[in-house]
A and B are shown apart, each in its own frame.
Chain A
Amino acid sequence: MPTAVAGPEIERLIQLLARLPGLGPRSARRAALFLIKKREQVMTPLTNALQTALEKIVVCKTCGNIDTQDPCTVCTDTRRDQSILVVVADVADLWALERAHAVNGRYHVLGGTLSPLDGVGPQDLSIDALVARAHEPQVNEVILALNATVDGQTTAHYITELLGDANVKVTRLAHGVPVGGELDYLDEGTLSAAMKQRTLF
Chain B
Amino acid sequence: MQWTDEGIVIGVRRHGEASAILELMTREHGRHVGMVRGGFGTRMKPVLQTGNSVSATWRARLEDHMGNYTVEPLRQRASDYFGAPHAIYGVSHLAALMRLLPERDPHEGLFNEFEAILDGLEDAAWAAPQVARFEMQLLSELGFGLDLEECAATGATEELIYVSPKSGRAVSREAGAPYADRMFKLPPFLTDPSRAPSGRDLDDGFKLTGFFLARHVLEPRGMQLADERMHFLAALARALPNVA
Residues of A within 8 A of B (CB): 21-22, 116-118, 121, 148-150, 153-154, 157-158, 160-161, 175, 187-190, 192-193, 196
Contact = CB atoms under 8 A, between A and B. Distances in A.
A165 to B, nearest CB: 15
Contact of B17 (A21, A192, A196): A21
B11 A150 contact: no
B80 A192 contact: yes
B88 interface: yes
B146 interface: no
B45 A149 contact: yes
Nearest to B231: A158
A192 B88 contact: no
Contacts of A149: 45, 49, 78
Contacts of B226: 116
Contacts of B79: 148, 175, 189-190, 192-193
Nearest to A154: B88
Interface stretch (B63-71, B89-97, B165-173): B89-97
A189 B45 CA distance: 11
Interface string B99-110: 000000000000
**Closest 3 A-B residue pairs measured CB to CB?**
A189-B76, A189-B79, A188-B76
A117 B81 contact: no
Q: Which of B52, B81, B83 neighbours the largest number of chain A CB atoms within 10 Å of its CB?
A: B83
Nearest to B99: A117
A148 B82 contact: yes
B92 A150 contact: yes
B73 interface: yes
Contacts of A187: 46-47, 73, 76
State the main secondary structure of chain B at its contact with A: mixed
Interface in B11-29: 11-13, 17
Nearest to A188: B76
B46 A116 contact: no
Given A188-B76, A189-B78, A192-B76, A157 B47 contact: no
27 contacts: A116-B226, A116-B227, A116-B228, A117-B12, A149-B49, A150-B50, A150-B78, A150-B88, A150-B91, A150-B92, A153-B81, A154-B89, A154-B228, A157-B85, A158-B231, A175-B79, A187-B76, A188-B73, A189-B77, A189-B78, A189-B80, A190-B79, A192-B80, A193-B80, A193-B82, A196-B80, A196-B83
B46 A189 contact: yes
Contacts of A161: 85, 234
B2 to A, nearest CB: 26
Given A187-B47, A189-B79, 5 more contacts: A117-B12, A117-B13, A149-B78, A157-B231, A175-B79
